[in-house]
């Protein structure tokens, strides 16, 4: 938890990962390109004091994650959102066994979401059923730009994607996190476009679609979709560090999300280990939309509390200590008929 000025914030970091991008795990040049692009985001958008040495960035390990998130980072609960990237890494990028072992050891602090690729068709669908039972899945993380064979991406509204979503719904997996954000070398920018979210959200109204990175740089497209689809949510991974390098741009992002979605469908994420949560939490609690940006209302403490943890806690049934919730307020997002 984080406390300041008499207010205490329950923190859920809704998008974290354990990865291994060391040279021995890189399958080809693309593995190095991918982690180098990650490191460029980290180095260019972080305060100087928060920049890691490159060698440490290739692999963190569970002990460091626990320290960075829970000892130093104010986080009360975190949710693993893995990416496999088997075309680039011998044993995958996200470390399933290590993350699951850590989750099993600290179930009060960690939730493990898994991943799937619909291009694996029936074989992958059978694995999903086994994974759901093994991990007790409440959510998954999808990477629509991931390479598989000769394919360099897929859509949520592809026929096999729908079979996976139907199965997820049958298995009680209600939270579908989808990477729809800035391109990462060597992945293709167009494979991250957000239009397929619209189709899937309409056809699966009982599922929650959390658009990670809130569609950046397609924020406007995402907002027009999300205002019409009440089961579409915004994840702030990658958007958060602009609070340091481009505060007015961050004010625009959060202002647009609050205008179109309201504070009930926005989730804080550090995107660890791209960034660590401590400085992001501190900056967000202190952040206020500049007074001259009059098209946006000021941020309230209640809005910050929901975004920093209460929204994700509600979605994942994470217990919130008594007194740390906020009173419900009748508020609706914009809807354009």
What are the tokens at 215? Answer: 């569609």
Give me the residue label for tokens 């993380």.
Answer: 141
All domains of the chain in start order, with CATH: 7-315 (3.20.20.140)
Write down the pLDDT at residue 12.
98
Write down the pLDDT at residue 333.
54
Q: What is the enclosing helix (H) or strand (E) of 4? A: strand 2-4
- For 148-207, where are the E strands, in sequence order? 175-179
Write down the pLDDT at residue 334.
56
Q: How far is CA 123 from CA 10, 42, 126, 129, 160, in A?
A: 40, 36, 5, 10, 12
What are the tokens at 168? Answer: 């997820």
Q: How far is CA 10 from the centre of its chain?
A: 18
Do the Cβ atoms of 126 and 61 come closer than 8 Å? Answer: no
Write down the pLDDT at residue 29.
97
Positions of the chain with pLDDT lower than 50, given as ranges? none
- Residue partners of 253: CB distance under 8 A and separation at least 6: 214, 216, 219, 239, 242
Closest among 242, 237, 228 to 210, alpha carbons compared: 237
Write down the pLDDT at residue 287.
97
**pLDDT more than 70, % of the chain:** 97
Q: What is the enclosing helix (H) or strand (E) of 142? A: strand 139-142
DSSP per-residue string spanning 242-269: HHHH-HHHHHHHHHHHHHHT-GGGEE--
């Amino acid at each position: 938890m984080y406390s300041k000025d008499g207010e205490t914030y329950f923190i859920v970091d809704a998008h974290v990962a354990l990865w291994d991008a060391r040279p021995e795990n890189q399958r080809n040049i693309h593995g190095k390109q991918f982690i180098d692009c990650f490191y460029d985001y980290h180095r260019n958008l972080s305060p100087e004091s928060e920049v890691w040495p490159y060698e440490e960035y290739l692999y963190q390990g569970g002990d460091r994650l626990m320290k960075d998130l829970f000892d130093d980072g104010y986080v009360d609960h975190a949710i693993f959102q893995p990416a496999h990237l088997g075309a680039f890494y011998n044993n995958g990028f996200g470390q399933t066994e290590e993350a699951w072992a850590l989750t099993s050891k600290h179930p009060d602090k960690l939730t493990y979401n898994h991943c799937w690729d619909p291009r694996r068709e029936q074989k992958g669908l059978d694995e999903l059923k086994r994974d759901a039972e093994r991990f007790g899945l409440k959510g998954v993380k999808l990477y629509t730009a991931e390479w598989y064979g000769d394919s360099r991406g897929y859509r949520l509204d592809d026929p096999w994607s729908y079979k996976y979503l139907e199965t997820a719904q049958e298995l009680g997996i209600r939270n579908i996190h989808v990477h729809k954000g800035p391109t990462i070398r060597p992945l293709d920018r167009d494979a991250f476009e957000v239009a397929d979210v619209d189709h899937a959200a309409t056809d699966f109204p009982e599922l929650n679609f959390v658009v990670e990175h809130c569609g950046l740089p397609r924020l406007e497209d995402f907002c027009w979709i999300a205002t019409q689809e009440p089961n579409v949510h915004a994840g702030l991974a990658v958007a958060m560090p602009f609070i340091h390098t481009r505060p007015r741009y961050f004010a625009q992002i959060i202002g647009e999300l609050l205008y179109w979605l309201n504070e009930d469908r926005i989730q804080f994420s550090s995107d660890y280990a791209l960034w660590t949560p401590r400085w992001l939490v501190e900056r967000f609690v202190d952040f206020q939309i500049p007074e001259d940006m009059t098209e946006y209302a000021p941020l309230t403490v209640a809005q910050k509390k929901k975004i920093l943890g209460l929204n994700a806690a509600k979605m994942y049934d994470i217990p919130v200590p008594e007194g740390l919730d906020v009173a419900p307020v009748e508020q609706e997002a914009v809807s354009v008929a």
